Structure 1
Amino acid sequence: MNWSDIWVLYRRELRSAFRDRTIVMNGILVPVFMYPIMMWVMMTGLMFVLGQMDRESSRLVILDPPPEHSALLDTLGAQTNP
């Protein structure tokens, strides 16, 4: 089989594929529009979650600390969020 036969067969298959609307829709148009929309939704959700995390403060409970850690406890006690 020579290259010209392969090229003719390739063009014929490609032409018949583009005639079918479902192949064009599902193979080309849906991904072209779907992937950017999905990325936008994911980035918007990520920014929302990061914004929520910035507003929340973590609470820390230290039970029965050893006396060697009194400086650490004083430092943690002095740091308060408004």
Structure 2
Amino acid sequence: MAQDAAGGPAAAGAAKKPNFFARIVIFFREVIAELRKVVTPTRKELVKFTSVVLGFVVVMMALIFGLDTVSSWVIDIVFGVPS
């Protein structure tokens, strides 16, 4: 008896794949089901999360600015670029 990749019989019990439009309907039903699970943050949580993200962005901007400034200074010294 032939077996498919999953180890089961090749023809017996193979579920028929729904047509294109049925798959679209199934997709949207699943999307709606997942969206119902979403929990909206409270105002306090939203402010906290936003401040954390903005703080992280500011720190990363400062780090990149500092590295850019130092590398520019080192390149000027090493290659003797006149100011």
Q: TM-score, normalised by structure 1?
A: 0.45
Of structures 1 and 2, the one scoring higher in RCO (CA 8 A, sep 6+) is 1
Larger Rg: 1
Q: TM-score, normalised by structure 2?
A: 0.44
Higher helix fraction (1 or 2): 1
